[in-house]
Structure 1
Amino acid sequence: MISVLIVDDEEIERTSMSLILSKAFPKLEIKLAKNGKSAIEIANSFQPDLILMDIKMPGMNGLEAIKQIKQSQERTKFIMVTAYDTFAYAKEAIKLGATDYILKPSKVTEITATIGQVIEQIEAEQKEADARQLELINYERSKRVLETDMVTQLLFDHVHDVHVDMLMEMLNVSKTRESFVFVVLLPEGLESKYPALLRKIKQIDNVWVGALSGRHFPVIVFRNEQSFRAQAIAIVRQALPPADQQLEPGWSIGIGQVHQLMDEIKRSYQQGLIAGLDQTRANQYRFYEDLSLGQNSCDQLLEKYRTKDFFDHVRLGRWEEIQQRLTLLIQCFQKEDYPIQVVQQRMLEMVWLIGRILDEMDIKMTWASVTFQSQSYQQLSRELGLYLSQLKGNHARYIQSMERDSMHQIKHYIMQFSHEDISLDLLADKMGLSPIYISKMFKEKLGINYIEFLTECRIEKAKQLLADPEKSIKAITFDIGYHDPNYFSKVFKRQTGLSPKQYRVQIGLLG
């Protein structure tokens, strides 16, 4: 509905104009003001789209009222209402930005024609503004999808360099910007808190929040002018529930170290997982750099193994290698004559780490409640071996059931709905799989990641639409699922070697 304010010091003029407009344009919302000062007060609360302003009024005249109203309401349009002898004032009003003027007296048809033209202009501008706002909303939604997926791609080795630069550019982030990762572990059964936490954390600048995997999710934080620890603590306090609330047991946050390059950010994620392992520190956050790792050779060997190799061994199901490494660690601690209780705790932390990694793949296990009762190193080795055998069976059954027809279904879904905002989270929800597992499956089965496959589908669709000369490139951008014509053009050229315009010329020549 378009709102109109009629300003005139003569009541009969105000009332007559209101009756004319109500009859000609029944959907208008109309208010009246008797002078310039009253017009300013009403305009501040009413926020009219159009003001019909008399020029000659006692006290503040119409020109001064226009100047003051336009300071706070730039979008409001003005039509001046003036007598013949004040026409010079109308010309000055036009200079101030008034859209048109109406002479007093005028015929009803002349009044409605002038005002009707301005109303049409307002409606067109509102429609254009709504379209821009929708584009902005879709663009921001698309950016959030990209951010979540980029976290998965970067932290789990499923990204290809061919798209990293363009995605980083679209998200306005430099690949050489310092960053770190913290990992949030939710209490068992409270995974539903993730959307609320996501909204809270996203209110902070310079963070990307990853998808929920099992009970934990990662957050990439880009460094600001604060110290590393001050920035991390401020964000973590926003992520956790308020300290005065009664917290359910099981909350923990591990904070990895700062890394200079985005290519190194995966290491910070692994450090965050390790830092958050201690289940006795519930409702706490812990920095990886604060861990007491010990200086003996066994602790150093443990730290060396808790890196990329261990994560890869678990994800690929290399249980014999895992058991062999952990058995060697137990033997090392035995030679150093470590107390059996300390060694049990070290192995328990490794089990917790395995549990977190399997959570990423939606392989469910009660890792948080695992305990070891061994009274000797040999018993501990056997107890650990039995537990790993159980994990091996669970992992194998999961892989066998998940891979059956999953790849075909995912590809079919992406091809059918490539014009929509498709995220790893959405695919995971549709297919009943983990987003990280879907990303991993694309890389292993097709040699590309899901973003590249989605891009191929969109570019093929774009080629078909470009063959229609009536379709603008901007329209094609939105039709195939992008929200920025410039980004679409860059992707299209990267994929085909031609810009969309050049491609149209080429198919025209071939035709």
Structure 2
Amino acid sequence: MITLLIVDDEPIERTALQRMIEEGFDDVEIVGQAANGREAIELAARLKPDVITMDIKMPGIGGLQVIERIRETDKDAAFIVVTAYDTFEFAQQALRMGVRDYLLKPSKTAVVLETIGKVAGDVKASRRERESRARDKERLRRMLPVVEADIVSQLLFDYAPSVHLNELIALLGEPEIGGGFVLNVLLLEGSAGDDAPAEPEELQARLAELLEASGVPGWIGRLSGKQLPLVAFKTPGASYRQTAVGLGRRLVQALRRGGGPEPFIGIGGPSAGLNELRRSYHEALLAAVDPSLPARFCLYEDLARHDAPSPGDRMPELEKAVLEDVRRGGWEAATAGAWRLVDLHESSGQPLGIAQQRIFEVLVIVARMLEEMGYEVGKPYYSRLASSFVQLKAETGALLGRMAETTALAAGEPEPGLVASMKKFIKDHASEDLSLERVAAAVDRNPFYVSKLFKSQFGMNYIDYLTECRMEAAKQLMRETDKSLKEITYDVGYRDPNYFSRVFKKIVGHSPTDYRKTLLRPADRNR
């Protein structure tokens, strides 16, 4: 229903216009009449009509002045001016003010109805467009946490790079940054025992609100087990340390106020670009080796203040190299690196007990990282205090060997039917907003495991496989139906035809229009 306000200082004109509209339209409701400009301003503010017919020549405030006043508080109202003047200057002025149309006094009923019908149709179209934009905005709002988590996973855990990674980052609007860094949020046992972490959506919402309130832009990853990675960006000119310490303190305070598990946050060093964030993540893991620190957060650059005397500058780099080798699946290299750590402790004169404790902390970080990647390896424990550095190397190798066996078993041939079930679910639901979490829930598996399974079984990222399914569906619709490209865009799960066309050309090698031309039947080609 379109609401309309009539403004005219002549009662007969108002009555006649209302009668014509009521008899000519079922979907236009007259919500009021105003006899002068001041009354028109008051009624427009209270009734918020969709359309206002405005008499130009009225005593007191003129019609064009009234339009300007109403425009200050209502940008969407559509105006039809009613005037006895049909001049070029008047038309120019009306257009500058955004008037939709005008009626000359006197006008025939057919002209009045045609003019009002046209403007009412424009208002309906604008309303539908606003509602569509609002729905798209709401869908985008719900989708952004999923997009953020997917980007963080790809940047930190080196899954097969998605062809859409840059477009996903563009969708979020990569902030103007002076350097990014990673925080690893651990949710430990609370005072009441082994409390479960908050619901992922609730935790992400709380962290997003905190980031917004702090003025620090960032992306929030997925909650896995009891840890959650977060990428933060300092603004140009801001100090990394000031930003990191302030954000770490706010996060701890906010999570403590929310109840539940006790938080501890490891904070990695700054990175010059997105491709260096994985190093910052490894540093964040190492910064969280001692969650008993009273501040409840620790910067990687401050580790030396809490450690035993350092055996040398090579130690942190060797520790990060072990993590990187494990992440890549290079267990032999990781074991050799761990042995070099033992040798370095021994050659620097470190007591055996301190060396074993430090190596144990590195193994705990390895276990946490594997958990993030979807492998349940449990917490590593030395069976006893080593009696020599040789024995420490042997025990360390055995622990890494057991982790390697566990991950190899988990990454081996999946259960019969699991891959087929995943493929069928994706094909059946490819046209929907299908997240990795939803696919994982459908097969009752960890999202990280599903992501790794896609890489090992299909040689591609999950989102790339979903894209291929959508492109195959689009090609089938082009072969078997006469639907427009816009209809096909929506049918296969996209909302933007231009974006669909870009993806189609990237995957298929031809634009949708060119591809469709190749599908002409032989009979069509011979005509």
TM-score computed with the length of structure 1 as normaliser:
0.81
Aligned equivalents of 1:130 and 1:9: distance in 2? Answer: 35
Asked if 1:80 is matched to 2:81, the reply is: yes
Q: Taking CA–CA contacts closer than 8 Å with sequence separation of 6 or more, which of the two structures ends up with the larger relative contact order?
A: 1
Match of 1:195 in 2: 204
Deviation, 1:444, is 2.2
Asked if 1:2 is matched to 2:2, the reply is: yes
Match of 2:502 among 480, 483, 490: 490
Match of 1:287 in 2: 299
Q: Deviations over 1:111-138 (max 9, x none)?
A: 5554333222211222233234434444
Q: Deviations over 1:225-284 (max 9, x none)?
A: 123234434544554443883755531222222223433321111112222232112663
Change in 2 beyond 3 A, CA 1:71/1:169: same
Deviation, 1:157, is 1.6
Match of 2:241 in 1: 229
3-state DSSP of counterpart to 1:307 = helix
Match of 2:319 among 306, 309, 312: 306
Deviation, 1:11, is 5.8
* Letter matched to residue 310 of structure 1: L
3-state DSSP of counterpart to 2:283 = helix
Match of 1:212 in 2: 223
Match of 1:124 in 2: 125
* Letter matched to residue 441 of structure 2: D
Aligned residues of 1:275 and 1:291 also touching (Cα < 8 A): yes
Aligned residues of 1:160 and 1:449 also touching (Cα < 8 A): yes
Aligned residues of 1:250 and 1:279 also touching (Cα < 8 A): no
Match of 1:153 in 2: 154
Deviation, 1:62, is 1.3
Change in 2 beyond 3 A, CA 1:337/1:247: farther
Change in 2 beyond 3 A, CA 1:504/1:313: same
Aligned residues of 2:162 and 2:461 also touching (Cα < 8 A): no
Q: Which moved more, 1:257-266 or 1:137-146?
A: 137-146
Change in 2 beyond 3 A, CA 1:66/1:166: closer
Aligned residues of 2:7 and 2:35 also touching (Cα < 8 A): yes
Asked if 1:407 is matched to 2:408, the reply is: no
Asked if 1:276 is matched to 2:288, the reply is: yes
Unpaired runs of at least 5, structure 2: 189-194
Aligned residues of 1:249 and 1:283 also touching (Cα < 8 A): no
Aligned equivalents of 2:442 and 2:325: distance in 1? Answer: 26
Aligned equivalents of 1:460 and 1:240: distance in 2? Answer: 47
* Letter matched to residue 409 of structure 1: S
Match of 2:270 in 1: 258
Aligned equivalents of 2:423 and 2:61: distance in 1? Answer: 69
Aligned equivalents of 1:190 and 1:40: distance in 2? Answer: 55
Query: 1:445-456 to 2 correspondence within 5 Å?
Result: 445-456=457-468
Deviation, 1:454, is 1.8
Q: Deviations over 1:26-82 (max 9, x none)?
A: 663713434212322343454321112223322102121113323443332112345
Aligned residues of 1:78 and 1:99 also touching (Cα < 8 A): yes
Deviation, 1:353, is 0.9
Q: Which moved more, 1:159-168 or 1:127-136?
A: 159-168
Q: How many residues align?
A: 506
Aligned residues of 2:198 and 2:260 also touching (Cα < 8 A): no
Change in 2 beyond 3 A, CA 1:314/1:502: closer
3-state DSSP of counterpart to 1:60 = coil
Deviation, 1:400, is 6.3
Asked if 1:63 is matched to 2:75, the reply is: no
Aligned residues of 1:425 and 1:435 also touching (Cα < 8 A): yes
Change in 2 beyond 3 A, CA 1:506/1:295: farther
* Letter matched to residue 4 of structure 2: V
Q: Which moved more, 1:384-393 or 1:114-123?
A: 384-393
Aligned equivalents of 2:514 and 2:414: distance in 1? Answer: 43
Aligned equivalents of 1:26 and 1:474: distance in 2? Answer: 30
Q: Deviations over 1:457-476 (max 9, x none)?
A: 22222222334684333333
3-state DSSP of counterpart to 1:422 = coil
Asked if 1:441 is matched to 2:450, the reply is: no
Unpaired runs of at least 5, structure 1: none
Match of 1:30 in 2: 31
Q: CA RMSD in A?
A: 4.2
Deviation, 1:486, is 3.1
Q: Percent identity over the alignment?
A: 33
Q: Which moved more, 1:273-282 or 1:87-96?
A: 87-96
Aligned residues of 1:178 and 1:261 also touching (Cα < 8 A): yes
* Letter matched to residue 433 of structure 1: R
3-state DSSP of counterpart to 1:508 = coil
Change in 2 beyond 3 A, CA 1:442/1:291: same
Aligned residues of 2:219 and 2:232 also touching (Cα < 8 A): yes
Match of 1:39 in 2: 40
Aligned residues of 1:274 and 1:288 also touching (Cα < 8 A): yes
3-state DSSP of counterpart to 1:28 = strand
Aligned residues of 2:268 and 2:287 also touching (Cα < 8 A): yes
Q: Which moved more, 1:58-67 or 1:219-228?
A: 219-228
Deviation, 1:218, is 1.9
